[in-house]
């Protein structure tokens, strides 16, 4: 969309906003109260008014300096920053992108009403032109909030993925010198590596000589996961620790065979309990009734 | 998944491989595959998707329900525009890897499926298609 500079110059938009700031703000707020749905349950009215008033003020300034085209003009930077901040905080408060964009879109009606008033009945062409420009402007700003919203969400998801990666590697000490690593969930190469590295570190840190890797919670073992498992077993062995793999369920056993992976000299046990019993036996210890 | 049980996913990162796996698992379980067959299919998908990512520089997975007479199955096609495979027979051999793998993925995927087809030539990318019947 391009608008000729003449149009922008003739636009009454800046003047209309300037002159009727308070009234526009009031109608906008009541518009938001109707349109906003849950908005007012989640945000205090004073806060909403504050945001709306800042938005309107920055919009007024930006239009005055740069006209109605927000693309790439520095004059709109402050306004965009405000919207960024707004989208981000609302996304964290649990608003939908629609709800956030509606904040901007609902300024249309109050603004159009003032434009209509300003133009009177005699100049419909100019009025339509102004309305068109105002629509374009608010649409762009509203869509902007949606974009920020998506980016914020993506950042949150990435952070959570990172957190999960850290969280999901709980190497636990079962007994003096016996470690267990219950692996749960889908293993991609990054996660497998993290999990296996943390096991090796814990072996050193605790001076353990037996480590049980339990894969009951792993939905599939492919060649990459198998390779990581085998590497870990070998590395642990070099460090003087023996690994026992437990929890190989029937479907996993079958796929491992079809893949042709040789678990050859790796000790395996059906369950974590069996593996623990074997570990105790190797350490010549036992758990007794008292 | 759309009406035709046909899903296309791009493979350009490691998480995409996991995503392909999950999509295959979902379709297979919807169709009624046993846990063992689901796992076989998912594992084969994992091998092929990862090969496309590592050797093919990324690619595309197409997952679809296949109906042939009274038979129902899942068909997975993994396609990349990478360097292609010079010697397919060799690539299928157990233990053959030009990378740092075990060299079991491609052959393993063949053993894990009922139908298996590789189309590849140097400079022309690689397309691997597998089907597993219910
Ligand atoms: N999509 C592909 N494009 C190009 N070359 C491929 C492709 N898929 C496989 N290859 C070649 O075939 C070889 C064997 O593949 P295969 O999946 O059996 O083993 P790998 O990937 O090396 O190791 P693994 O899968 O056991 O971890 C690869 O090392 C590679 O040279
Ligand atoms: Mg492979």
Average pLDDT per 10 consecutive residues for chain A, totaling 290 residues: 45 84 90 68 80 91 82 82 88 82 91 89 86 91 87 80 67 93 80 84 94 92 91 92 95 94 90 95 87
Q: Which residue, of A134, A164, A194, is where some domain finishes?
A: A164
Q: Domain check: are A204 and A157 in the same one?
A: no
What pLDDT does residue A33 have? 78
What pLDDT does residue A121 have? 79
Q: Which atom of ligand 1 is nearest to the CA of A259?
A: 26
The verdict on a CB contact (< 8 Å) between B108 and A219 is no
Query: Which residues in A lie closer than 8 A to residue B24 (C-beta atoms)?
Result: none
Give per-residue burial for B38-58: e unless 16+ CB within 10 Å, then b. bbbbbbbbbbbbbbbbbbbeb
Considering chain B, what percentage of its residues have pLDDT values greater than 70? 96
Q: Which residue, of A145, A164, A183, is where some domain finishes?
A: A164
What pLDDT does residue A163 have? 67
Q: Domain check: are A188 and A76 in the same one?
A: no
Q: Domain check: are A207 and A241 in the same one?
A: yes
Hey, whose CA ends up nearest to atom 27 of ligand 1? B101
Q: What is the pTM of this model?
A: 0.69
What pLDDT does residue B54 have? 96
CA pair distance A265, A219, nearest whole angstrom: 23
pLDDT (mean) for B46-73: 95
The verdict on a CB contact (< 8 Å) between A186 and B47 is no
Q: Which residue, of A164, A180, A198, is where some domain finishes?
A: A164
Cβ-based burial of A267 (10 A; exposed 0-12, middle 13-18, buried ≥19) = middle
The verdict on a CB contact (< 8 Å) between B112 and A252 is no
Per the structure, the complete domain to which residue A245 belongs is given by 172-282
Residues B9-29: pLDDT tens digits?
A: 999 998 899 899 999 999 999
Q: Domain check: are A104 and A65 in the same one?
A: yes
Q: Report ipTM for this prediction.
A: 0.89
Q: What is the CATH number of the domain that holds A14?
A: 1.10.490
Q: Domain check: are A197 and A158 in the same one?
A: no
What pLDDT does residue A167 have? 61
pLDDT (mean) for B59-80: 95
Q: Are A118 and A16 in contact (CB under 8 A)?
A: yes
What pLDDT does residue A7 have? 45
CA distance B20 to chain A (A): 12
Query: Which residues in A lie closer than 8 A to residue B43 (C-beta atoms)?
Result: 220-222, 255, 258-259
CA distance B41 to chain A (A): 9
Element (H, E) at A211: strand A210-217
What pLDDT does residue A5 have? 41
* Ordered DSSP codes for A46-92: HHHHHHHHHHHHHHHHHHHHHTT--TT-GGGHHHHHHHHHHHHHHHH
What pLDDT does residue B20 have? 94
Q: Chain A contact for B104, CB < 8 A?
A: yes
Q: Chain A contact for B14, CB < 8 A?
A: yes
* Residue A287 resides in a domain: no
Maximum CA extent, chain A: 101
Greater pLDDT, A165 or B119: B119
Of A140-144, A285-289, B2-6, B38-42, which range is least confident?
B2-6
Degrees to nearest 5, angle at CA A94 with A90 and A96: 80
* Residue A290 resides in a domain: no
CA pair distance A229, A114, nearest whole angstrom: 70
- pLDDT at residue B2 tops 70: no
What pLDDT does residue A194 have? 83
Nearest 10 degrees: Cα torsion B126, B132, B133, B134: -150
Q: What is the CATH number of the domain that holds A244?
A: 3.30.750.24
The verdict on a CB contact (< 8 Å) between A260 and B50 is no
Query: Which residues in B lie closer than 8 A to residue A189 (C-beta atoms)?
Result: 14, 50
CA of B60 to the centre of ligand 1 (A): 16
> Which two structure tokens, joined as six digits, stand for A271?
């369950």
The verdict on a CB contact (< 8 Å) between A188 and B18 is yes
């Amino acid at each position: 969309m391009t608008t000729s500079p003449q149009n922008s110059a003739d636009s009454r938009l800046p003047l209309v906003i300037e002159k009727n700031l308070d009234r526009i703000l009031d109608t906008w707020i009541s518009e938001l109260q109707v349109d906003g749905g849950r908005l007012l349950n989640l945000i205090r009215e004073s806060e909403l008014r504050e945001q709306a008033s800042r938005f309107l003020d920055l919009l007024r300034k930006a239009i005055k300096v740069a006209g109605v085209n927000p693309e790439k003009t520095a004059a709109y930077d402050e306004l965009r920053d405000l919207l960024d901040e707004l989208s981000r905080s609302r996304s964290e408060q649990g608003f939908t992108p629609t709800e956030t964009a509606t904040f901007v879109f609902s300024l249309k009606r109050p603004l159009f009403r003032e434009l209509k008033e300003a133009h009177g009945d005699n100049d419909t062409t100019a009025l339509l032109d102004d309305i068109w420009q105002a629509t374009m402007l608010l649409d762009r700003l509203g869509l902007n909030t949606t974009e920020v919203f998506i980016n914020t969400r993506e950042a949150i998801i990435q952070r959570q993925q990172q957190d999960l990666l850290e969280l999901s590697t709980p190497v636990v000490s079962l007994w003096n010198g016996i470690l267990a690593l219950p692996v749960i969930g889908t293993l991609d190469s990054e996660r497998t590596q993290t999990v296996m590295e943390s096991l090796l570190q814990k072996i050193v840190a605790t001076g353990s000589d037996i480590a049980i890797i339990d894969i009951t919670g792993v939905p599939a073992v492919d060649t990459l996961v198998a390779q990581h498992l085998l590497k870990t077993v070998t590395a642990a062995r070099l460090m003087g620790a023996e690994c026992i793999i437990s929890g190989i369920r029937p479907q996993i056993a079958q796929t491992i065979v079809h893949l042709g992976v040789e678990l050859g000299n790796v000790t395996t046990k059906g369950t974590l309990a069996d593996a623990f019993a074997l570990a105790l036996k190797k350490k010549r210890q036992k758990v007794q009734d008292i | 998944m759309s009406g035709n049980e046909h899903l296309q996913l791009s493979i350009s990162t490691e998480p995409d491989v996991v995503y392909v796996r999950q999509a295959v698992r979902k379709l297979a379980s919807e169709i009624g595959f046993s846990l063992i067959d689901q796992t076989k299919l998912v594992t084969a998908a994992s091998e092929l998707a990862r090969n496309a990512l590592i050797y093919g520089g990324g690619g595309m997975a197409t997952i679809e329900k296949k109906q042939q007479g009274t038979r129902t199955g899942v068909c997975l096609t993994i396609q990349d525009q990478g360097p292609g495979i010079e010697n397919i027979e060799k690539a299928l051999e157990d233990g053959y890897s030009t990378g740092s793998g075990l060299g079991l993925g491609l052959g393993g995927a063949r053993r894990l499926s009922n139908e298996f087809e590789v189309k590849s030539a140097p400079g022309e990318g690689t397309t691997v298609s597998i089907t597993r019947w219910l």
